[in-house]
Amino acid sequence: MSLPALRSFERQIERQLRLFEIRKNLIERKIERQVRLFETKRGGIGKKIEAQIRQFEKKRGIRLDDEVRFIRSWIERPLTIGAVTPSGKILARTMARYVDPNSNGPVVELGPGTGPVTEALVKAGVAPERLVLVEFNPGFCRLLRARYPQATVVQGDAYGIRRLLETLLIQPAAAVVSGLPLVTKPIRQRLRLVRDALDLMLPGAPFVQFTYSVAAPLPRRLGGFSVESSERIWMNIPPARVWVYRKP
Ligand SMILES: C[S@@+](CC[C@H](N)C(=O)[O-])C[C@H]1O[C@@H](n2cnc3c(N)ncnc32)[C@H](O)[C@@H]1O
């Protein structure tokens, strides 16, 4: 290729690159606009639902604060929250029933949300100062600290339970109760969480998990722990089942 031809080729490439940059900037701006629009719409839907709930509360003369908080968080992060409303009382009581209030050691709750299971645990006789509540959502953490000032509230990722709790727990946990939307995670991550939790617990202590799913949160064949489950709780919305795993 002669030198002038090479220069012309170079100029052509430069032109193409400039064109590419302009197109890229245009597409980026378009995406930003779409994201902003989506955010505004999402906020709008949230406010609309909230207004409807307030209207419902006014008509019925009741307050649904926790439900409103929960729905807002669900609109913001549906997969992390994993449910549209907090657990009902029967489900919460069923979970709490697997924890012996007279056992020794901390009782850890993963993903307590607005605290329906926490409340059931306290009502069942678990002293609030024994509770270690691990919650991702900072708003829920503030609420839990205000409601259970004697409990230890840890804001963090429950899937990192080993790192989060190994220095915080001064003795093995008497139980771990989980409201995490476990089935949204890959099997390997679920297994790691349950195994890490069991390692922080006394032998035979329960890891209690609820799920709306028809299948068990962990396949029995993966073994290494004993498994039991409750009846399906049809009175919960949606119906749920409680699964309990223990290290032999
Ligand atoms: C299905 S809700 C259950 C809330 C409450 N236990 C109940 O029964 O109503 C799941 C909760 O787990 C929390 N969560 C989800 N992923 C988490 C994580 N990786 N670490 C800590 N909390 C998490 C959510 O913020 C939410 O509060």
pLDDT on residue 63 = 63
Measured from the Cα of 95, ligand 1's closest atom is: 8
Q: How far apart are CA 247 and CA 77, in angstroms?
A: 33
pLDDT on residue 198 = 95
132 with 88: CB under 8 angstroms?
A: no
| Residue 124 DSSP one-character state | T
| Angle subtended by helix axes 138-147 and 65-76, to nearest 10 | 160
Dihedral sign for Cα 233, 235, 236, 237, please: positive
pLDDT on residue 84 = 66
C-alpha 157 to ligand 1 mean position (Å) = 10
Length of the chain: 248
Dihedral sign for Cα 216, 134, 152, 105, please: positive
C-alpha 37 to ligand 1 mean position (Å) = 28
Best mutation site among 136, 141, 183, 211 for ligand 1, i.e. most ligand atoms within 8 A of its Cβ?
136
pLDDT on residue 138 = 93
Residue type, 93: R
CA nearest neighbour of 118 among 132, 104, 106, 105: 132
pLDDT on residue 62 = 63
Say how far residue 196 (Cα) sits from the centre of its chain: 17
Alpha helices (H) in 148-234, listed in sequence order: 161-165, 187-199
Alpha helices (H) in 61-153, listed in sequence order: 65-76, 78-81, 89-97, 116-123, 138-147
pLDDT on residue 136 = 94
Global confidence as pTM: 0.76
Q: Residue 211 to residues 7, 179, 229: CA-CA distances in angstroms? A: 67, 8, 11
Each residue's pLDDT, cut to its tens digit, for the chain (248 residues) gives 788 888 888 888 888 888 888 887 788 788 778 777 776 776 677 677 777 777 877 787 766 677 777 777 777 777 677 776 778 899 999 999 999 999 999 999 999 999 999 999 999 999 999 999 999 999 999 999 999 999 999 999 999 999 999 899 999 999 999 999 998 899 999 999 999 999 999 999 999 999 988 889 998 777 688 999 999 998 888 899 999 999 88
Tally of CB atoms within 10 A around 142: 13
pLDDT on residue 21 = 80
- Provide residues with CB under 6 Å of ligand 1: 80-83, 86-87, 111-113, 116-117, 134-137, 140, 157-159, 179-181
